[in-house]
Amino acid sequence: MAETAIETATIGVVGGTGFAGGEACRLLLNHPRVGDIRPTARGDEEFERVHRNLAGAGLDFVAVDRLLEQAAELDCVLLCTPSGQAMRLAPRLLDAGVRVVDLSGDFRFADPDGYRRAYGEDHASPQLLGEAVCGITELHRAEIAGARLIANPGCYVIAATLALAPLLKGRLVALDSGLQISAVNGTTGAGNQPRKEVMHPEAFASMLPYSLDGHRHAPELEARFQELAGEPVTVSLTTAHGAFARGIYVNTTVVPASSQGVDWSRDRLIEIYRDFYGAGHEGDHFVVVNELPRRGGLNVKEYDIYPLMRGVVGSNFCHLGVDFDPERELIKVVSVIDNLVKGAAGSAIQNMNLMLGLEETCGLRHYGL
């Protein structure tokens, strides 16, 4: 945390008409150290017509150019824009002395080649890529506190990285055959532009797989996992939209490293995760490992020993569940988050708090709905 915390912050939210931008405004409105929120829109939209849940909040959209003119008044800007826009806005904000948290994919790669491979275009501000700090708060706390530019990872990446970080960091996973990750997110993950496939009559009681030829978050995961494991990692990421609005369910199955000699069990895995993230309020506040004991025998359906996605909706928490299949010698990890909070606006504000010298939980301590 910075030595001097800001008393009352003025925060810009670029891309205030989208799902993540609206969620950022909702969370900032309940933040005790935020006094002024300035969301942007590119058209003539009215705030309360776009975000009906925030009626009475007193917020109005401003034009992006107007916000840039006001840069000297801003303490931090959250860039909730589609990929390709933040890399053109960030330099102007940084030059004005504003701290920036980018929720898009523009600064998630350390080199322009990585960005080009994932997004298919050249980076407009490659000089900033080496400076951007990865915004997984639990893993980069010290760097985030001293940074002026944060690259918030994608929602899948946050959920999957928190799921596997203890095993990768401890060199407890066999990596030679790659890592298989299956994930389902809500239809808000498709954005707020109209698409027939994600309309309620189409999406209800169904699943919508996409990007099976190579999801753009897979290279991002490989970069994060290589940092943790200390060696290259190949990731196969299988994704789908589920018939719910918000939330992410990540399921991973990994082979334990044979050289570790660990007597694997669910209890041993819980111990590993407790040591990594801490326990209760003494550890990472927003990462909760399900430690409820198993009460039944083999093949008894004990739903409560694994995390429920609905338990994190509306919150900045990540709930983790672990288990071990002794017959096949496989580790199973389940991770659930709200894609709009911990997967986007919530983690951005968690990082903003550190950048402004505040407690990282400030304004975010509410639990799931």
214 in any annotated domain: yes
C-alpha R_g of the chain: 20
155 has catalytic annotation: yes
Q: In whole angstroms, what separates CA 340 from the centre of its chain? A: 8
Instruction: Give me the helix-helix angle, 346-355 and 19-29, nearest 10°.
Output: 50
- DSSP secondary structure letters along 1-62: --SS--SSEEEEEETTTSHHHHHHHHHHHT-TTEEEEEEB-SSS--HHHH-GGGTTS----B
User: Residues 164, 250: one domain?
Assistant: yes
For 319, the 3-state DSSP assignment is strand
pLDDT value for 238: 96
369 in any annotated domain: no
pLDDT value for 111: 92
366 in any annotated domain: no
- Selected catalytic residue, list 134, 155, 318, 362: 155
User: Residues 220, 329: one domain?
Assistant: yes
CA distance 201 to 236: 30
365 in any annotated domain: no
141 in any annotated domain: yes
Total domain count for the chain?
2
pLDDT value for 260: 67
Mean pLDDT of 339-363: 97
The model's pLDDT over 10-61, given as tens digits with 9 standing for 90+, comes to 999 999 999 999 999 999 999 999 999 999 999 899 999 999 999 999 999 9
Which of 130, 88, 81, 85 has its CA nearest to residue 110?
130
Is the Cβ–Cβ distance between 181 and 158 less than 8 Å? no
Query: Pairing relation of β-strands 248-254 and 330-337?
Result: antiparallel
Is the Cβ–Cβ distance between 166 and 222 less than 8 Å? no
Angle at the Cα of 286 from the Cα atoms of 310 and 99, rounded to 5 degrees: 115
pLDDT over 90 at 279, yes or no: no
pLDDT over 80 at 2, yes or no: no
User: Residues 173, 64: one domain?
Assistant: no
CATH number (domain holding residue 132): 3.40.50.720
pLDDT value for 280: 52
Which of 13, 149, 14, 15 has its CA nearest to residue 91?
149
Mean pLDDT of 361-369: 95
pLDDT over 70 at 297, yes or no: yes
Q: Give the other-Cβ count within 10 Å of 145's Cβ.
A: 18
Is the Cβ–Cβ distance between 171 and 256 less than 8 Å? no
Q: In the chain, how many H helices and how many E strands?
A: 11, 13
Mean pLDDT of 77-90: 96
Is the Cβ–Cβ distance between 53 and 369 less than 8 Å? no
User: Residues 85, 148: one domain?
Assistant: yes
2 in any annotated domain: no
368 in any annotated domain: no
The model's pLDDT over 216-268, given as tens digits with 9 standing for 90+, comes to 889 999 999 999 999 999 999 999 999 999 999 999 999 999 866 789 999 99
- Residue listed under structure tokens 């030059």: 95
pLDDT over 50 at 1, yes or no: no
Q: Which two tokens stand for residue 226?
A: 């290589």
User: Residues 325, 254: one domain?
Assistant: yes
Identify each DSSP E strand in the chain by its residue range: 9-14, 34-39, 76-79, 99-102, 133-134, 149-151, 179-185, 208-210, 235-241, 248-254, 287-289, 318-325, 330-337
Instruction: Give me the helix-helix angle, 112-119 and 217-229, nearest 10°.
Output: 140
CA distance 102 to 296: 46
pLDDT-based confidence at 124, cuts 50/70/90?
A: very high
- Residue listed under structure tokens 């082979």: 255
Mean pLDDT of 203-225: 91
Spell out the residues 6+ positions from residue 145 whose beta carbon is closer than 8 angstroms to its own: 1, 2, 354, 355, 357
User: Residues 97, 169: one domain?
Assistant: no
User: Residues 307, 321: one domain?
Assistant: yes
User: Residues 276, 140: one domain?
Assistant: no
User: Residues 117, 175: one domain?
Assistant: no
The model's pLDDT over 165-190, given as tens digits with 9 standing for 90+, comes to 999 999 999 999 899 999 999 999 88
Backbone angles phi, psi at 155, to 5 degrees: -65, -40
pLDDT value for 293: 94
More confident residue, 193 or 257: 257
Backbone angles phi, psi at 74, to 5 degrees: -95, 140
- DSSP secondary structure letters along 172-199: -B--TT-EEEEEEE-GGGG-SS--GGGS
More confident residue, 300 or 148: 148
Question: Percent of the chain beyond pLDDT 70?
Answer: 97
User: Residues 95, 117: one domain?
Assistant: yes
User: Residues 203, 332: one domain?
Assistant: yes
Q: Is 25 left (phi over 0), alpha (psi -120 to 50) or beta?
A: alpha
CATH number (domain holding residue 329): 3.30.360.10
pLDDT value for 159: 98
Backbone angles phi, psi at 98, to 5 degrees: -90, 135
pLDDT over 80 at 281, yes or no: no
Residue 58 burial class via C-beta count within 10 angstroms: exposed 0-12, middle 13-18, buried 19 and up? exposed
pLDDT value for 283: 74
User: Residues 247, 117: one domain?
Assistant: no
Mean pLDDT of 136-164: 97
319 in any annotated domain: yes
Parent domain of 314: 157-339
> Average pLDDT, whole number, for the chain?
93
